[in-house]
Amino acid sequence: MGFIDRFLRTRKFSRGIHPEDHKRPAADAPLRKMPLPKRLYVPLLQHVGAPARAAVAVGDIVRKGQRIAAPQGAISAALHAPTSGRIVAIGDIVAPHPSGLPVAAITIESDGRDEWTTLTACTDPFALDPAEIGRRVSAAGIVGLGGAAFPSAVKLSGGREANVDLLIINGGECEPFLSCDDRLMRERAADAIDGVAIMLHATGAREARIGIEDNKPEAIAAMRAAAAGHPKIRVEPVPTRYPMGSEKHLVLALTGLEVPANGRPADVGVVVHNVATAVAVRDAVRFGRPLVSRLVTVNGACVREPGNVEVLIGTLADEVVEFCGGLRADRGAPARLLLGGPMTGMQVPSLRVPVIKGTGGILVLDGDEVGLRAPGPCIRCSTCVRACPVGLLPLEIARRIGAGDLDAAVKFGLKDCIACGCCAYDCPSHIPLVQYFHHAKGELAARDRHKLRSEATKTLAQARAERLERETREKAETAARRKAGPDSQPAPAPRPTGAAAQPTGECA
């Protein structure tokens, strides 16, 4: 794609921000593999949708890759044993979440052998029916590895049902500090392209475009070399601008098409998957391997040896940091602990929480990186308006939230906010705008749940009142008939006489 064409496609995406990326030296360090932990803690909910249901019991012996929890409902994902060993507990652990509240999990004690269960391989994935690919991806428990953790099989089958024309692979990785996708594309480019080709077959799309921010030249070169023999797959650099990795903004940058505010990419003939998801799909379909590990960026000034590590799902985050040399004593106590990136990741009170499928990073930041400052009053400068990639008015939304008028905040586009953090990052008064929006969305969700409960209670109460009224009426009618005596009973119908009384013949 030429410069003019690229400019015309991306001119609408003139908002967003350019934060310092802080990706090196972690991005330039070769991939490492985390040693086998003694225990793994696998939460039953680590994806969008309903939590998985435990399919094992305490004391069971499992092998690596064996299914230990089944999906519940259409939007859910199976879970598999990350290693071989024994189930020692099924119960609550500390959630990898800012709340630190308990979450149900399966705890596995490793036997040290790391033995795989029997896997079903496929020598020619392109001979499989697309629906069968979707079934294998679902059985492998694969979810979007870019952070959203939406079940991938649902998007694959949904793309085919929607007759999408274009498959977009998200290799943008616009979050500062994170580089696991960059490193994956450099070292496993051929596997990624193979996965993209399998996804093309599964979705029925006519072509695939892989969008990679232009600050990753090594990844772009590696992916282009791997895609050289695939005429339906193109690697296209996109401008380095946060949040380019946002699904809707990547679609706009690569196609010029704008996804409707309340719509999905499929509404404009597109389906989007992450590049790491493509590798996981390839491993599942070709070799039958379920999703039991992922690449995680370990970064921040407090980390002694930043880099990208392949980590088994369920490994405690503090063990991953310890594998990376532990914390630097000269930096003092960390100012912030994050799972994911600094813009959209989750701040956690402790790293004694497990890595889950959506964990793309473990960040241990010092005070300089966090830039802690006390918030001041809004000066109505509209910097947040210029930064918002969705074109909202964050200052007006925040004003309505502060006044407790959530309905007015919704009218100003609260539900369209993608929680990218651009407004808060650029705000000269350091107002935590995105935190306000998170809080307001939580209040709206709670209000909607209360409304549903109230409506359900009202329906049940109305049904009960109608039933009691009917029973009272029937009892009154029965009592009235009894009081009237036998004369009130209806007279029997008269018997037919004459010709009408003669039989008409036997039934056929």
The annotation places the binding site for [4Fe-4S] cluster at: 378, 381, 384, 388, 417, 420, 423, 427
Cα-to-chain-centroid distance, residue 59: 31
As annotated, the binding site includes 378, 381, 384, 388, 417, 420, 423, 427
- The CB density around residue 58, as the number of other CB atoms within 10 Å, is 13
Give me the long-range contacts of 407-415 (CB less than 8 A, separation at least 24): 409/440, 410/444, 414/440, 414/441, 414/444, 415/262, 415/441, 415/444
What's the rounded Cα separation, in Å, for the pair 146 and 253?
Answer: 18
Burial of 60 per CB tally in 10 Å (0-12, 13-18, 19+): middle
Among the listed residues 80, 50, 152, the one whose alpha carbon sits nearest the alpha carbon of residue 314: 80
| b/e code 62-99 from CB counts within 10 Å (16+ = b) | bbbbbbbbebeeeebbbbbbbbbbebeebeebbbbbee
Among the listed residues 494, 474, 470, 472, the one whose alpha carbon sits nearest the alpha carbon of residue 482: 474
The sign of the torsion formed by the CA atoms of 77, 83, 85, 90 equals negative
What's the rounded Cα separation, in Å, for the pair 146 and 347?
Answer: 18
> Collapsing DSSP states into helix, strand and coil, what is residue 83?
coil
What's the rounded Cα separation, in Å, for the pair 230 and 227?
Answer: 5
What's the rounded Cα separation, in Å, for the pair 338 and 342?
Answer: 7
Question: How far, CA to CA in Å, does 147 sit from each of 21, 87, 508?
Answer: 18, 28, 70
Phi-psi region of 240 (alpha: psi -120 to 50; beta: other; left: phi over 0): beta
186's enclosing H/E stretch is: helix 180-187
